Amino acid sequence: MPHKSPRTKLIATLGPASAERETLAAMFDAGVDVCRINFSHGSPEQHECLLASVRELAKERDMPIAVVGDLCGPKIRLNRVAGGSAELLVGATLRITRGDDDCTPERLTTTLPDLIDDVGVGHRVYIDDGLVRLLVTDQSADALTCSVTVGGTISTRKGVNLPDSGLSVPALTDKDRRDLVWAIEHELDFVALSFVRRPADLYELKDLIREHGGDVGVIVKIEKVEALEHLDELIGASDAVLVARGDLGVELDIWQVPMIQKAITARCREVGVPVIIATQMLQSMVHSPMPTRAEVSDVANAIIDAADAVMLSAETAVGDYPVATVDMMTKTSQVAEAYLVQGPHAATRYIAQRSHTAAPDEVHGVRGLSIPDAAAARSAVSPNISATHPRASAIAHAAVQAARDVNARLVAVWSATGRTARLVAKHRLPVPVVGLSYNERVCRQMNLLYGVIPILVKPIANPAEMADVLDVTLIRRGLAKPGDLIVVVTSTQPETPGATDTTLVHRVGEPGQPRDVSP
- pLDDT value for 498: 64
By the 10 Å C-beta count (0-12 exposed, 13-18 middle, 19+ buried), 384 is classed as exposed
Residue 371's pLDDT band, with cuts at 50, 70 and 90, is very low
Q: What is the CATH number of the domain that holds 422?
A: 3.40.1380.20
Quick: pLDDT tens for 293-316: 999 999 999 999 999 999 999 999
Residues 326 and 178 in one domain: yes
Mean local confidence (pLDDT), 75-93 = 95
Residues 263 and 155 in one domain: no
The answer to whether 282 and 291 have CB atoms below 8 angstroms apart is: yes
Q: Hey, CA dihedral for 417, 264, 398, 436, is it positive or negative?
A: positive
Model-level pTM?
Answer: 0.86
- Could you report how far apart the first and last alpha carbons of the chain are, in Å? 15
Q: Is the pLDDT confidence value at 373 over 70?
A: no
Q: Provide the mean pLDDT of the chain.
A: 87
DSSP state of 112: -
Mean local confidence (pLDDT), 186-212 = 96
Residues 249 and 264 in one domain: yes
Mean local confidence (pLDDT), 62-71 = 97
Is 367 part of a structural domain of the chain? no
Residues 191 and 276 in one domain: yes
Which of the two residues, 244 and 512, has the higher pLDDT score?
A: 244
Q: Is the pLDDT confidence value at 370 over 50?
A: no
Residues 68 and 92 in one domain: no
Which of the two residues, 277 and 468, has the higher pLDDT score?
A: 277
Catalytic residues: 36, 77, 221, 279
Is 59 part of a structural domain of the chain? yes
Q: What is the CATH number of the domain that holds 81?
A: 2.40.33.10
Residues 404 and 389 in one domain: yes
Residues 67 and 81 in one domain: no
Residues 198 and 234 in one domain: yes
Quick: pLDDT tens for 268-290: 998 889 999 999 999 999 999 99
Q: Please list the helix, strand and coil fractions of the chain in percent, rounded to the nearest 5, in that order.
A: 40, 20, 40
Q: What is the domain range of residue 84?
A: 76-161
Mean local confidence (pLDDT), 248-274 = 92
Calculate the CA 507 to chain-centre distance: 35
DSSP state of 239: S
Residue 167's pLDDT band, with cuts at 50, 70 and 90, is confident
| E strand intervals along 72-131 | 76-77, 85-88, 93-97, 107-108, 124-127
- CB neighbour list of residue 285: distance below 8 Å, 6 or more residues apart: 291, 295, 315, 319, 321, 324, 325, 328
Residues 41 and 84 in one domain: no
* DSSP string computed for 305-339: TT-SEEEESHHHHT-S-HHHHHHHHHHHHHHHHHH
- pLDDT value for 471: 92
Q: Is the pLDDT confidence value at 291 over 70?
A: yes
Of 284, 363, 309, 320, nearest to 18 (Cα)? 320
Q: Is the pLDDT confidence value at 62 over 60?
A: yes
Is 479 part of a structural domain of the chain? yes
Quick: pLDDT tens for 392-430: 888 889 999 999 999 999 999 998 899 999 999 999 998
Query: Which residue type does 83 have?
Result: G
- pLDDT value for 376: 32
Is 518 part of a structural domain of the chain? no
- pLDDT value for 462: 73
CA atoms of 140 and 154, how far apart (whole Å): 24
Q: State which of 106-120, 277-291, 356-370 shows the largest mean pLDDT.
A: 277-291
Residues 298 and 432 in one domain: no
Does residue 105 have a cis peptide bond before it, meaning omega lies within 30 degrees of 0? no
Residues 140 and 188 in one domain: no
